[in-house]
Structure 1
Protein backbone atom coordinates (compact mmCIF):
# COMPACT_ATOMS: atom_id res chain seq x y z
CA UNK A 1 0.00 0.00 0.00
CA UNK A 2 1.15 3.54 -0.70
CA UNK A 3 -0.30 6.98 -0.18
CA UNK A 4 -2.20 8.68 -2.99
CA UNK A 5 -1.47 12.19 -4.36
CA UNK A 6 -4.62 13.44 -2.65
CA UNK A 7 -3.40 12.06 0.68
CA UNK A 8 -0.01 13.68 0.14
CA UNK A 9 -1.66 17.06 -0.37
CA UNK A 10 -3.80 16.44 2.70
CA UNK A 11 -0.65 15.70 4.71
CA UNK A 12 0.86 19.01 3.62
CA UNK A 13 -2.29 20.70 4.84
CA UNK A 14 -2.14 18.76 8.12
CA UNK A 15 1.46 19.90 8.67
CA UNK A 16 0.36 23.49 8.10
CA UNK A 17 -2.49 23.07 10.59
CA UNK A 18 -0.11 21.60 13.17
CA UNK A 19 1.85 24.86 13.29
CA UNK A 20 -1.24 26.58 14.71
CA UNK A 21 -0.88 24.65 17.94
CA UNK A 22 1.49 25.70 20.74
CA UNK A 23 4.88 24.13 21.30
CA UNK A 24 4.76 22.54 24.74
CA UNK A 25 4.63 19.30 26.68
CA UNK A 26 2.41 17.79 23.96
CA UNK A 27 3.39 17.68 20.28
CA UNK A 28 2.05 19.96 17.57
CA UNK A 29 -0.23 17.75 15.45
CA UNK A 30 -2.58 18.39 12.53
CA UNK A 31 -5.22 16.14 10.94
CA UNK A 32 -7.37 16.09 7.81
CA UNK A 33 -10.34 13.75 7.29
CA UNK A 34 -10.93 12.72 3.66
CA UNK A 35 -14.05 11.13 2.21
CA UNK A 36 -13.71 7.87 0.21
CA UNK A 37 -13.76 10.10 -2.90
CA UNK A 38 -10.91 12.27 -1.61
CA UNK A 39 -12.91 15.31 -0.54
CA UNK A 40 -11.94 17.13 2.64
CA UNK A 41 -14.58 16.46 5.28
CA UNK A 42 -12.95 18.15 8.28
CA UNK A 43 -9.68 19.51 9.64
CA UNK A 44 -8.26 19.74 13.14
CA UNK A 45 -5.18 20.46 15.20
CA UNK A 46 -4.04 20.09 18.79
CA UNK A 47 -4.39 23.26 20.83
CA UNK A 48 -2.37 22.25 23.89
CA UNK A 49 -2.30 19.94 26.90
CA UNK A 50 -5.74 18.84 28.03
CA UNK A 51 -7.48 19.76 24.76
CA UNK A 52 -8.72 17.37 22.07
CA UNK A 53 -6.03 15.74 19.97
CA UNK A 54 -5.94 16.68 16.29
CA UNK A 55 -7.86 13.61 15.07
CA UNK A 56 -10.59 14.05 17.66
CA UNK A 57 -10.75 17.79 16.99
CA UNK A 58 -11.40 17.06 13.30
CA UNK A 59 -13.91 14.26 13.97
CA UNK A 60 -15.86 16.50 16.37
CA UNK A 61 -16.69 18.81 13.46
CA UNK A 62 -18.57 16.03 11.64
CA UNK A 63 -22.09 14.72 12.25
CA UNK A 64 -22.42 11.18 13.60
CA UNK A 65 -21.56 8.56 10.99
CA UNK A 66 -20.03 11.04 8.51
CA UNK A 67 -16.51 9.61 8.95
CA UNK A 68 -17.50 6.01 8.23
CA UNK A 69 -15.24 4.69 5.47
CA UNK A 70 -13.14 7.89 5.54
CA UNK A 71 -9.36 8.35 5.61
CA UNK A 72 -7.63 10.18 8.46
CA UNK A 73 -4.38 11.93 7.48
CA UNK A 74 -2.39 12.81 10.60
CA UNK A 75 1.10 14.22 11.16
CA UNK A 76 1.82 11.90 14.14
CA UNK A 77 0.86 8.27 14.76
CA UNK A 78 -2.51 8.23 16.59
CA UNK A 79 -1.93 7.71 20.30
CA UNK A 80 -3.06 4.56 22.09
CA UNK A 81 -3.20 5.65 25.71
CA UNK A 82 -5.46 7.51 28.10
CA UNK A 83 -4.08 10.70 29.57
CA UNK A 84 -6.12 13.85 29.97
CA UNK A 85 -7.97 12.65 26.87
CA UNK A 86 -8.80 9.19 25.56
CA UNK A 87 -6.88 7.18 22.92
CA UNK A 88 -7.11 8.60 19.39
CA UNK A 89 -6.95 5.05 18.02
CA UNK A 90 -10.24 4.22 19.75
CA UNK A 91 -11.84 7.47 18.56
CA UNK A 92 -10.93 6.67 14.96
CA UNK A 93 -12.28 3.13 15.28
CA UNK A 94 -15.50 4.36 16.86
CA UNK A 95 -15.97 6.84 14.01
CA UNK A 96 -15.63 4.05 11.43
CA UNK A 97 -12.50 5.41 9.74
CA UNK A 98 -11.26 2.84 7.20
CA UNK A 99 -7.77 4.15 6.46
CA UNK A 100 -5.15 6.12 8.42
CA UNK A 101 -2.09 7.81 6.92
CA UNK A 102 0.49 9.40 9.21
CA UNK A 103 3.96 10.95 8.98
CA UNK A 104 5.93 10.22 12.17
CA UNK A 105 5.89 7.28 14.60
CA UNK A 106 5.03 8.17 18.20
CA UNK A 107 8.24 7.52 20.24
CA UNK A 108 6.48 7.31 23.62
CA UNK A 109 6.46 4.01 25.49
CA UNK A 110 2.96 4.71 26.80
CA UNK A 111 1.45 6.61 23.88
CA UNK A 112 2.72 4.57 20.92
CA UNK A 113 0.94 1.53 19.50
CA UNK A 114 -1.96 3.29 17.83
CA UNK A 115 -0.99 2.03 14.38
CA UNK A 116 -0.83 -1.55 15.63
CA UNK A 117 -4.23 -1.23 17.34
CA UNK A 118 -5.79 0.15 14.14
CA UNK A 119 -4.29 -2.55 11.92
CA UNK A 120 -5.49 -5.26 14.30
CA UNK A 121 -9.00 -3.87 13.92
CA UNK A 122 -8.84 -4.06 10.12
CA UNK A 123 -7.97 -0.41 9.35
CA UNK A 124 -5.49 0.21 6.52
CA UNK A 125 -2.51 2.11 7.93
CA UNK A 126 0.20 3.91 5.94
CA UNK A 127 3.19 5.16 7.93
CA UNK A 128 5.94 7.60 6.98
CA UNK A 129 4.20 9.88 4.47
CA UNK A 130 6.29 13.10 4.35
CA UNK A 131 8.22 11.78 7.33
CA UNK A 132 11.07 14.27 6.88
CA UNK A 133 8.72 17.23 6.98
CA UNK A 134 6.85 15.75 9.92
CA UNK A 135 10.10 15.09 11.76
CA UNK A 136 11.25 18.65 11.15
CA UNK A 137 8.01 20.00 12.60
CA UNK A 138 8.45 17.86 15.71
CA UNK A 139 12.23 18.14 16.06
CA UNK A 140 12.23 19.91 19.42
CA UNK A 141 9.47 17.70 20.88
CA UNK A 142 11.16 14.52 19.65
CA UNK A 143 14.49 15.66 21.14
CA UNK A 144 12.82 16.29 24.49
CA UNK A 145 11.21 12.83 24.36
CA UNK A 146 14.55 11.20 23.56
CA UNK A 147 16.52 13.07 26.22
CA UNK A 148 13.86 13.17 28.92
CA UNK A 149 14.69 16.87 29.32
CA UNK A 150 14.99 19.93 27.08
CA UNK A 151 17.64 20.07 24.37
CA UNK A 152 20.44 22.41 25.56
CA UNK A 153 22.49 24.69 23.33
CA UNK A 154 25.47 26.47 24.92
CA UNK A 155 26.63 29.57 23.04
CA UNK A 156 29.48 31.98 23.48
CA UNK A 157 31.34 34.62 21.48
CA UNK A 158 35.11 34.84 21.69
CA UNK A 159 38.21 36.42 20.24
CA UNK A 160 40.60 34.27 18.24
CA UNK A 161 42.58 33.70 21.43
CA UNK A 162 39.54 32.47 23.36
CA UNK A 163 38.62 35.59 25.33
CA UNK A 164 35.07 36.80 25.97
CA UNK A 165 36.05 40.29 27.13
CA UNK A 166 39.01 42.65 27.41
CA UNK A 167 40.87 42.92 30.69
CA UNK A 168 38.72 45.86 31.77
CA UNK A 169 35.59 43.71 31.29
CA UNK A 170 34.30 45.37 28.11
CA UNK A 171 32.88 42.92 25.59
CA UNK A 172 30.54 44.74 23.18
CA UNK A 173 30.92 43.97 20.40
CA UNK A 174 33.29 41.04 19.89
CA UNK A 175 31.41 39.79 16.84
CA UNK A 176 29.90 41.67 13.92
CA UNK A 177 26.39 42.30 12.67
CA UNK A 178 25.94 39.02 10.77
CA UNK A 179 26.91 36.93 13.80
CA UNK A 180 24.62 38.89 16.11
CA UNK A 181 21.71 38.47 13.68
CA UNK A 182 22.34 34.72 13.68
CA UNK A 183 22.24 34.66 17.48
CA UNK A 184 18.92 36.51 17.56
CA UNK A 185 17.42 34.08 15.03
CA UNK A 186 18.48 31.17 17.23
CA UNK A 187 17.12 32.89 20.33
CA UNK A 188 13.73 33.13 18.62
CA UNK A 189 13.78 29.37 18.03
CA UNK A 190 14.43 28.65 21.72
CA UNK A 191 11.88 28.29 24.50
CA UNK A 192 14.16 29.50 27.29
CA UNK A 193 17.26 31.72 27.27
CA UNK A 194 19.60 31.31 30.24
CA UNK A 195 21.98 33.92 31.65
CA UNK A 196 23.89 34.19 34.90
CA UNK A 197 23.23 36.97 37.38
CA UNK A 198 26.79 38.17 36.84
CA UNK A 199 26.01 38.88 33.20
CA UNK A 200 22.77 40.65 34.17
CA UNK A 201 24.64 42.91 36.60
CA UNK A 202 27.59 43.57 34.28
CA UNK A 203 25.94 43.94 30.86
CA UNK A 204 22.20 44.43 31.59
CA UNK A 205 21.08 42.40 28.53
CA UNK A 206 17.45 42.48 27.42
CA UNK A 207 17.58 38.77 26.43
CA UNK A 208 15.08 39.40 23.64
CA UNK A 209 15.16 38.05 20.09
CA UNK A 210 15.22 40.87 17.54
CA UNK A 211 15.05 41.11 13.76
CA UNK A 212 17.82 42.81 11.74
CA UNK A 213 15.61 45.91 11.74
CA UNK A 214 15.48 45.96 15.54
CA UNK A 215 11.90 44.76 15.96
CA UNK A 216 10.98 41.92 18.29
CA UNK A 217 10.58 38.48 16.73
CA UNK A 218 7.07 37.03 17.03
CA UNK A 219 8.46 34.21 19.19
CA UNK A 220 10.37 35.21 22.30
CA UNK A 221 12.24 32.89 24.70
CA UNK A 222 11.47 32.99 28.40
CA UNK A 223 14.45 34.57 30.23
CA UNK A 224 15.90 32.44 33.04
CA UNK A 225 18.41 34.04 35.39
CA UNK A 226 20.70 31.81 37.48
CA UNK A 227 22.39 33.05 40.63
CA UNK A 228 21.78 33.94 44.26
CA UNK A 229 21.97 37.73 43.93
CA UNK A 230 18.83 39.79 43.36
CA UNK A 231 17.90 41.15 39.94
CA UNK A 232 17.87 44.97 40.02
CA UNK A 233 14.49 46.63 39.69
CA UNK A 234 15.84 48.63 36.75
CA UNK A 235 17.24 45.60 34.87
CA UNK A 236 16.33 45.42 31.18
CA UNK A 237 15.19 41.80 31.58
CA UNK A 238 12.28 43.05 33.69
CA UNK A 239 10.92 44.74 30.53
CA UNK A 240 11.10 41.52 28.50
CA UNK A 241 7.77 40.62 26.80
CA UNK A 242 7.80 37.25 28.59
CA UNK A 243 7.89 37.04 32.42
CA UNK A 244 11.37 36.00 33.55
CA UNK A 245 12.31 33.12 35.83
CA UNK A 246 14.93 33.44 38.58
CA UNK A 247 16.51 30.34 40.10
CA UNK A 248 19.08 30.64 42.88
CA UNK A 249 20.16 26.97 43.15
CA UNK A 250 22.93 25.07 41.36
CA UNK A 251 21.21 21.75 40.58
CA UNK A 252 21.13 21.86 36.78
CA UNK A 253 19.52 18.41 36.26
CA UNK A 254 16.69 19.45 38.61
CA UNK A 255 16.37 22.75 36.76
CA UNK A 256 16.06 20.99 33.39
CA UNK A 257 13.55 18.56 34.86
CA UNK A 258 11.48 21.54 36.00
CA UNK A 259 11.67 23.14 32.55
CA UNK A 260 10.71 19.83 30.92
CA UNK A 261 7.69 19.61 33.18
CA UNK A 262 6.69 23.12 32.10
CA UNK A 263 6.67 21.95 28.47
CA UNK A 264 9.88 23.67 27.34
CA UNK A 265 11.82 21.87 24.59
CA UNK A 266 14.80 24.09 23.76
CA UNK A 267 17.11 25.86 26.20
CA UNK A 268 19.62 28.42 24.89
CA UNK A 269 22.45 29.05 27.39
CA UNK A 270 24.01 32.37 26.54
CA UNK A 271 24.94 34.49 29.49
CA UNK A 272 28.40 34.19 30.97
CA UNK A 273 31.49 31.96 31.19
CA UNK A 274 30.46 30.60 34.61
CA UNK A 275 27.03 29.44 33.48
CA UNK A 276 28.37 28.01 30.20
CA UNK A 277 31.07 26.16 32.12
CA UNK A 278 28.54 24.75 34.58
CA UNK A 279 26.42 23.18 31.83
CA UNK A 280 29.51 21.79 30.09
CA UNK A 281 30.94 20.45 33.36
CA UNK A 282 27.63 18.68 34.08
CA UNK A 283 27.56 17.07 30.63
CA UNK A 284 24.34 18.88 29.78
CA UNK A 285 25.32 20.57 26.52
CA UNK A 286 23.79 18.89 23.47
CA UNK A 287 24.99 21.55 21.03
CA UNK A 288 27.78 24.12 21.24
CA UNK A 289 27.91 27.36 19.23
CA UNK A 290 31.24 29.19 19.26
CA UNK A 291 31.27 32.54 17.43
CA UNK A 292 34.92 33.41 16.81
CA UNK A 293 35.95 36.97 15.90
CA UNK A 294 39.27 37.69 14.16
CA UNK A 295 40.71 39.76 17.00
CA UNK A 296 43.14 39.24 19.86
CA UNK A 297 42.38 40.38 23.41
CA UNK A 298 44.70 38.46 25.71
CA UNK A 299 44.13 38.81 29.44
CA UNK A 300 42.17 36.74 31.89
CA UNK A 301 38.54 36.72 30.67
CA UNK A 302 38.26 33.24 29.12
CA UNK A 303 35.14 32.49 27.05
CA UNK A 304 34.10 29.61 29.31
CA UNK A 305 34.74 28.92 32.95
CA UNK A 306 35.94 25.82 34.76
CA UNK A 307 34.57 22.60 33.27
CA UNK A 308 36.45 20.25 35.58
CA UNK A 309 39.39 19.46 33.28
CA UNK A 310 42.80 19.29 34.96
CA UNK A 311 44.78 17.23 32.45
CA UNK A 312 44.75 16.86 28.66
CA UNK A 313 43.69 13.21 28.74
CA UNK A 314 40.37 14.31 30.29
CA UNK A 315 39.60 16.82 27.54
CA UNK A 316 35.97 16.87 26.38
CA UNK A 317 36.07 15.67 22.78
CA UNK A 318 33.62 17.22 20.34
CA UNK A 319 32.36 16.48 16.84
CA UNK A 320 32.30 19.42 14.45
CA UNK A 321 28.87 19.70 12.85
CA UNK A 322 29.48 22.78 10.69
CA UNK A 323 31.79 25.75 10.17
CA UNK A 324 30.35 28.90 8.58
CA UNK A 325 31.53 32.39 7.83
CA UNK A 326 29.24 35.14 9.13
CA UNK A 327 30.70 38.35 7.79
CA UNK A 328 34.26 38.41 9.15
CA UNK A 329 33.39 36.02 11.97
CA UNK A 330 33.40 32.25 12.17
CA UNK A 331 30.61 30.09 13.63
CA UNK A 332 31.65 26.63 14.76
CA UNK A 333 28.78 24.29 15.65
CA UNK A 334 29.79 21.17 17.57
CA UNK A 335 28.26 18.44 19.68
CA UNK A 336 29.71 16.05 22.26
CA UNK A 337 31.54 13.10 20.76
CA UNK A 338 30.07 9.71 21.70
CA UNK A 339 31.74 8.09 24.67
CA UNK A 340 32.48 4.39 24.85
CA UNK A 341 31.79 4.45 28.58
CA UNK A 342 28.07 5.03 29.21
CA UNK A 343 28.80 5.87 32.86
CA UNK A 344 30.72 8.99 31.82
CA UNK A 345 29.06 12.25 30.87
CA UNK A 346 29.67 14.24 27.72
Structure 2
Protein backbone atom coordinates (compact mmCIF):
# COMPACT_ATOMS: atom_id res chain seq x y z
CA UNK A 1 0.00 0.00 0.00
CA UNK A 2 1.40 3.38 -1.02
CA UNK A 3 1.08 6.23 1.46
CA UNK A 4 1.15 9.73 -0.02
CA UNK A 5 1.86 12.61 2.34
CA UNK A 6 1.61 16.36 1.88
CA UNK A 7 -1.56 16.23 -0.21
CA UNK A 8 -3.40 19.57 0.01
CA UNK A 9 -0.91 20.65 2.68
CA UNK A 10 -1.50 24.37 2.13
CA UNK A 11 -5.27 23.93 2.36
CA UNK A 12 -4.87 22.00 5.62
CA UNK A 13 -2.64 24.70 7.10
CA UNK A 14 -5.14 27.35 6.08
CA UNK A 15 -8.01 25.43 7.63
CA UNK A 16 -6.11 25.03 10.90
CA UNK A 17 -4.25 28.35 11.00
CA UNK A 18 -5.76 29.31 14.36
CA UNK A 19 -4.65 26.05 15.96
CA UNK A 20 -1.14 26.15 14.50
CA UNK A 21 -0.59 29.78 15.47
CA UNK A 22 -1.78 29.13 19.01
CA UNK A 23 0.62 26.22 19.54
CA UNK A 24 3.60 27.51 17.53
CA UNK A 25 3.63 31.07 18.90
CA UNK A 26 2.10 30.33 22.32
CA UNK A 27 -0.56 32.99 21.87
CA UNK A 28 -4.01 33.37 20.29
CA UNK A 29 -4.47 34.04 16.59
CA UNK A 30 -5.11 37.80 16.50
CA UNK A 31 -7.45 39.57 14.08
CA UNK A 32 -7.58 43.37 14.01
CA UNK A 33 -10.77 44.93 12.67
CA UNK A 34 -11.65 48.58 12.11
CA UNK A 35 -13.97 50.65 9.93
CA UNK A 36 -12.77 53.91 8.40
CA UNK A 37 -13.92 56.73 6.17
CA UNK A 38 -12.56 57.39 2.69
CA UNK A 39 -10.33 60.12 4.14
CA UNK A 40 -8.84 57.86 6.81
CA UNK A 41 -10.78 58.44 10.04
CA UNK A 42 -12.36 56.01 12.50
CA UNK A 43 -14.68 58.45 14.23
CA UNK A 44 -15.23 62.05 15.24
CA UNK A 45 -13.11 63.38 18.07
CA UNK A 46 -15.29 62.68 21.10
CA UNK A 47 -15.02 62.78 24.87
CA UNK A 48 -17.34 61.42 27.53
CA UNK A 49 -20.26 63.77 28.13
CA UNK A 50 -19.64 66.05 25.14
CA UNK A 51 -22.89 65.00 23.46
CA UNK A 52 -21.29 63.99 20.17
CA UNK A 53 -22.69 60.80 18.69
CA UNK A 54 -20.66 57.93 17.31
CA UNK A 55 -19.91 57.92 13.59
CA UNK A 56 -21.68 54.97 11.98
CA UNK A 57 -19.73 53.61 9.03
CA UNK A 58 -21.00 50.04 8.62
CA UNK A 59 -23.85 49.03 6.34
CA UNK A 60 -26.25 46.17 7.15
CA UNK A 61 -24.12 43.84 5.01
CA UNK A 62 -20.74 44.77 6.51
CA UNK A 63 -22.28 44.63 9.98
CA UNK A 64 -23.35 41.06 9.19
CA UNK A 65 -19.73 40.25 8.23
CA UNK A 66 -18.53 41.76 11.50
CA UNK A 67 -20.93 39.66 13.55
CA UNK A 68 -19.91 36.56 11.58
CA UNK A 69 -16.30 37.30 12.54
CA UNK A 70 -17.30 37.70 16.19
CA UNK A 71 -18.92 34.27 16.14
CA UNK A 72 -15.66 32.80 14.79
CA UNK A 73 -13.47 34.17 17.61
CA UNK A 74 -13.14 33.07 21.21
CA UNK A 75 -12.53 36.57 22.62
CA UNK A 76 -13.33 40.13 21.52
CA UNK A 77 -11.29 43.03 22.92
CA UNK A 78 -11.80 46.79 23.20
CA UNK A 79 -10.01 49.53 25.07
CA UNK A 80 -11.32 51.65 27.93
CA UNK A 81 -12.28 54.64 25.77
CA UNK A 82 -14.25 52.57 23.27
CA UNK A 83 -16.12 50.89 26.13
CA UNK A 84 -16.90 54.24 27.73
CA UNK A 85 -17.90 56.24 24.64
CA UNK A 86 -19.71 53.56 22.62
CA UNK A 87 -21.01 51.27 25.40
CA UNK A 88 -20.89 48.28 23.03
CA UNK A 89 -22.52 44.91 23.64
CA UNK A 90 -19.80 43.01 21.73
CA UNK A 91 -22.22 40.14 21.14
CA UNK A 92 -23.34 38.21 18.04
CA UNK A 93 -26.73 39.44 16.89
CA UNK A 94 -26.73 39.55 13.07
CA UNK A 95 -25.28 36.06 12.60
CA UNK A 96 -25.69 32.56 13.98
CA UNK A 97 -23.07 31.39 16.45
CA UNK A 98 -21.76 31.73 19.99
CA UNK A 99 -20.96 35.02 21.64
CA UNK A 100 -17.23 35.58 22.18
CA UNK A 101 -15.91 36.23 25.66
CA UNK A 102 -15.76 40.02 26.04
CA UNK A 103 -12.54 41.69 27.18
CA UNK A 104 -11.56 45.25 28.00
CA UNK A 105 -8.38 46.99 29.13
CA UNK A 106 -9.22 49.19 32.13
CA UNK A 107 -5.97 49.98 33.87
CA UNK A 108 -7.41 51.76 36.92
CA UNK A 109 -10.90 50.20 36.92
CA UNK A 110 -12.50 53.52 36.07
CA UNK A 111 -15.29 52.16 33.87
CA UNK A 112 -18.80 52.32 35.38
CA UNK A 113 -20.35 48.94 36.13
CA UNK A 114 -23.55 50.07 34.40
CA UNK A 115 -21.95 49.52 30.97
CA UNK A 116 -23.25 46.72 28.75
CA UNK A 117 -19.94 44.90 29.16
CA UNK A 118 -20.88 44.20 32.76
CA UNK A 119 -24.52 43.19 32.26
CA UNK A 120 -23.74 39.54 33.01
CA UNK A 121 -25.15 38.22 29.73
CA UNK A 122 -21.70 37.12 28.52
CA UNK A 123 -18.50 36.49 30.45
CA UNK A 124 -16.19 39.52 30.55
CA UNK A 125 -12.45 39.73 31.23
CA UNK A 126 -11.02 42.99 32.60
CA UNK A 127 -7.28 43.60 32.24
CA UNK A 128 -6.15 45.95 35.00
CA UNK A 129 -3.34 46.80 37.40
CA UNK A 130 -5.74 46.83 40.37
CA UNK A 131 -6.28 43.85 42.66
CA UNK A 132 -9.97 42.99 42.51
CA UNK A 133 -12.02 39.94 43.44
CA UNK A 134 -13.87 38.27 40.56
CA UNK A 135 -17.63 38.56 40.59
CA UNK A 136 -20.40 36.85 38.68
CA UNK A 137 -19.70 37.09 34.96
CA UNK A 138 -16.59 39.27 35.36
CA UNK A 139 -12.99 38.14 35.87
CA UNK A 140 -10.17 40.58 36.67
CA UNK A 141 -6.69 39.84 35.32
CA UNK A 142 -3.77 41.85 36.66
CA UNK A 143 -1.10 43.11 34.29
CA UNK A 144 2.12 45.03 34.91
CA UNK A 145 1.55 48.24 32.97
CA UNK A 146 5.22 49.24 33.38
CA UNK A 147 5.99 46.40 30.94
CA UNK A 148 4.65 45.71 27.41
CA UNK A 149 0.93 45.10 27.89
CA UNK A 150 -0.03 43.34 24.66
CA UNK A 151 2.34 40.43 25.23
CA UNK A 152 1.07 39.97 28.81
CA UNK A 153 -2.54 40.10 27.68
CA UNK A 154 -1.96 37.45 25.02
CA UNK A 155 -0.09 35.27 27.49
CA UNK A 156 -3.07 35.44 29.86
CA UNK A 157 -5.42 34.34 27.07
CA UNK A 158 -3.03 31.55 26.07
CA UNK A 159 -2.96 30.25 29.63
CA UNK A 160 -6.77 30.11 29.54
CA UNK A 161 -6.66 28.10 26.30
CA UNK A 162 -8.39 30.83 24.27
CA UNK A 163 -7.16 30.35 20.71
CA UNK A 164 -8.51 33.37 18.84
CA UNK A 165 -8.81 37.09 19.58
CA UNK A 166 -10.75 39.75 17.66
CA UNK A 167 -9.70 43.34 18.38
CA UNK A 168 -12.40 45.97 17.73
CA UNK A 169 -10.93 48.85 19.69
CA UNK A 170 -9.90 52.32 18.67
CA UNK A 171 -6.75 53.73 17.13
CA UNK A 172 -4.63 53.48 20.30
CA UNK A 173 -5.34 49.79 20.85
CA UNK A 174 -4.89 48.82 17.20
CA UNK A 175 -1.61 50.73 16.95
CA UNK A 176 -0.37 48.98 20.09
CA UNK A 177 -0.99 45.59 18.49
CA UNK A 178 0.56 46.66 15.18
CA UNK A 179 3.66 47.98 16.96
CA UNK A 180 4.01 44.79 19.00
CA UNK A 181 3.94 42.59 15.90
CA UNK A 182 1.48 40.31 17.70
CA UNK A 183 -1.20 40.06 15.04
CA UNK A 184 -2.09 37.74 12.17
CA UNK A 185 -4.98 39.18 10.20
CA UNK A 186 -6.47 42.62 9.50
CA UNK A 187 -10.04 43.39 8.40
CA UNK A 188 -10.45 46.94 7.11
CA UNK A 189 -13.90 48.25 6.26
CA UNK A 190 -13.83 51.43 4.18
CA UNK A 191 -16.74 53.63 3.15
CA UNK A 192 -17.00 56.53 0.74
CA UNK A 193 -17.92 58.91 3.58
CA UNK A 194 -15.64 61.84 4.35
CA UNK A 195 -15.55 63.74 7.65
CA UNK A 196 -12.31 65.73 7.04
CA UNK A 197 -11.16 65.55 10.65
CA UNK A 198 -11.41 63.13 13.53
CA UNK A 199 -9.62 60.11 15.01
CA UNK A 200 -7.07 58.88 12.49
CA UNK A 201 -7.28 55.23 11.47
CA UNK A 202 -4.20 53.03 11.88
CA UNK A 203 -1.80 53.31 8.96
CA UNK A 204 -0.62 50.03 7.46
CA UNK A 205 1.41 51.46 4.57
CA UNK A 206 4.71 50.63 6.28
CA UNK A 207 3.53 47.05 6.78
CA UNK A 208 2.84 46.32 3.12
CA UNK A 209 5.86 44.01 2.79
CA UNK A 210 4.45 41.88 5.61
CA UNK A 211 0.91 41.77 4.27
CA UNK A 212 -0.69 39.27 1.95
CA UNK A 213 -3.91 40.47 0.33
CA UNK A 214 -6.54 37.85 1.05
CA UNK A 215 -9.89 38.97 -0.35
CA UNK A 216 -12.28 41.88 -0.60
CA UNK A 217 -16.06 42.19 -0.34
CA UNK A 218 -17.59 45.15 -2.13
CA UNK A 219 -21.06 46.68 -2.13
CA UNK A 220 -21.75 48.45 -5.40
CA UNK A 221 -24.67 50.50 -4.10
CA UNK A 222 -22.89 51.91 -1.04
CA UNK A 223 -19.30 51.85 -2.38
CA UNK A 224 -18.41 50.03 0.83
CA UNK A 225 -15.52 47.55 0.93
CA UNK A 226 -14.28 45.03 3.49
CA UNK A 227 -10.67 44.01 2.83
CA UNK A 228 -8.80 41.20 4.58
CA UNK A 229 -5.02 41.01 4.87
CA UNK A 230 -2.83 38.32 6.40
CA UNK A 231 0.64 38.70 7.82
CA UNK A 232 3.41 36.94 5.93
CA UNK A 233 4.54 34.42 8.52
CA UNK A 234 4.92 30.96 6.89
CA UNK A 235 6.94 29.42 9.73
CA UNK A 236 3.94 29.74 12.04
CA UNK A 237 2.53 26.54 10.61
CA UNK A 238 5.53 24.40 11.56
CA UNK A 239 4.77 22.76 14.84
CA UNK A 240 7.69 22.56 17.30
**TM-score, normalized by the shorter chain, greater than 0.5:** yes
1:330 aligns with 2:228: no
Aligned residues: 206
| Alpha-carbon RMSD | 2.8
Match of 1:200 in 2: 83
Match of 2:150 in 1: 252
Contact 1:185–1:210 (Cα < 8 Å) also in 2: no
Match of 1:232 in 2: 112
Q: Deviations over 1:159-196 (max 9, x none)?
A: 01111113455334212111111000000000110000
CA distance in 1, matches of 2:24, 2:34: 26
Contact 1:144–1:150 (Cα < 8 Å) also in 2: yes
Q: Deviations over 1:277-302 (max 9, x none)?
A: 11011111211111001110111311
Q: Deviations over 1:97-123 (max 9, x none)?
A: xxxxxxxxxxxxxxxxxxxxxxxxxxx
- State the structure with more CA Rg: 1
Task: Give, in angstroms, the shift of residue 320 of structure 1.
Answer: 2.0
Match of 2:207 in 1: 316
SS at 1:164 equivalent: strand
Task: Give, in angstroms, the shift of residue 211 of structure 1.
Answer: 2.4
Task: Give, in angstroms, the shift of residue 147 of structure 1.
Answer: 2.2
- Judging changes above 3 Å, is the alpha-carbon distance between structure 1 residues 288 and 135 closer, same or farther for their aligned structure 2 residues? closer
CA distance in 2, matches of 1:316, 1:126: 38
Task: Give, in angstroms, the shift of residue 156 of structure 1.
Answer: 0.4
CA distance in 2, matches of 1:240, 1:136: 35
1:299 to 197, 200, 212: 197
1:218 to 91, 97, 101: 97
TM-score by length of 2: 0.75
The unaligned stretches of length 5 or more in structure 1 are 3-124, 339-346
Task: Give, in angstroms, the shift of residue 321 of structure 1.
Answer: 1.9
CA distance in 1, matches of 2:120, 2:207: 35
Match of 1:186 in 2: 69
SS at 1:316 equivalent: helix
Q: Deviations over 1:203-259 (max 9, x none)?
A: 0000101225xxxx4311111101324331211111253310000244211211111
CA distance in 2, matches of 1:183, 1:131: 29
CA distance in 1, matches of 2:12, 2:229: 25
TM-score by length of 1: 0.53
Match of 2:60 in 1: 177
Match of 2:33 in 1: 155
